[in-house]
Structure 1
Amino acid sequence: MTTKILALTDGLGNLVEFCLMPGQAHDLRETDTLIRDLTAGHLLADRAFDADWLRNDLLARDITPVIPPKSNRRFPADFDKETCKWRHLIENYFGKLNENRWIAMRSCKTDHSFTACISIAATILHIR
């Protein structure tokens, strides 16, 4: 049993929202609930989030999707490669979050306590 953390950060790499998912679940499964109330200029994501419904939803809300296309797409979507370079902020955030051994090793037994641990670690990172 593994757990995925689906996180949304702001333009500075600070955690805004997150949710837990089963490790075997696809990343897109909880994306809709995570970005439901999102208001932003751009949404940067990795290839796992390359789906037409997500791109169309973002464009309908005047949010520019910056998502590299999957290699198996027949007609790859365009994306801004320079803006996509800022995606490292979320990767850096996960690196900082995983510095806490109790998060990296998932030492909590329940999702509720694991969510609390992530919230505490995010607060400590924000205070630094």
Structure 2
Amino acid sequence: MLADKAYDADRIRALIEGQGATPNVSAEFNRNWKPCFSKRLYRERNLIERFFSKLKHFRRVATRYGKLAENFLAIVQLASMLLWLGAYEATT
């Protein structure tokens, strides 16, 4: 499970491990014991969070005007394509 530093607590780590998952949580700076941590996975989590932040800039997605799930999914897909095209044009 990927999480932010806010979830760096022994009880949360124990809960995650108790459910059979491996926590990948960045340790707080004042922690004496530093658990295993993958920076590559943490970077990928950050990319996903930034994508959702950009997706919420589309008013129709953020306020969910379309009440039907199919319509909302179509708007999310359209906004995702627009974001991808914008990133693609910036690199060429």
Give 2:4's aligned residue.
46
Task: Describe the SS at the equivalent of 1:94.
Answer: helix
Relative to total residues, which structure has the larger strand share, 1 or 2?
1
* 1:59 correspondence with 2:17: yes
Give the counterpart letter for 1:49 in structure 2.
Answer: Y
- Aligned twin of 2:56: 97
Aligned residue pairs, count: 71
The one-letter code matched in structure 2 to 1:68 is: S
Q: Aligned equivalents of 1:95 and 1:102: distance in 2?
A: 10
Closer/same/farther in 2, CA of residues 95 and 57 from structure 1, 3 Å limit: same
Letter in 2 for 1:77: P
Rounded Cα–Cα distance in structure 1 between residues aligned with 2:39 and 2:21: 16
**Amino acid across the alignment from 2:8:** D
- CA displacement, residues 78-127 of structure 1 (integer Å, 9 cap, x when unaligned): 21222222112122212221343995xxxxxxxxxxxxx2585x6421x3
List per-residue Cα deviations over 1:14-67 (Å, max 9, x = no partner): xxxxxxxxxxxxxxxxxxxxxxxxxxxxx1111111111111111111111111
Question: Is contact 2:55-2:61 (8 Å) kept?
Answer: no
Q: Judging by fraction of residues, say which structure has more helix.
A: 2
- Give the root-mean-square deviation of aligned CA atoms: 2.6
Q: Secondary structure at the match of 1:64?
A: coil
**C-alpha separation between the residues in 1 aligned to 2:19 and 2:65?**
29
CA distance in 1, matches of 2:8, 2:65: 28
Specify every segment of 5 or more residues in structure 1 that has no aligned partner in the other structure, as ranges: 1-42, 104-116
Q: Which one has a bigger Cα radius of gyration?
A: 2
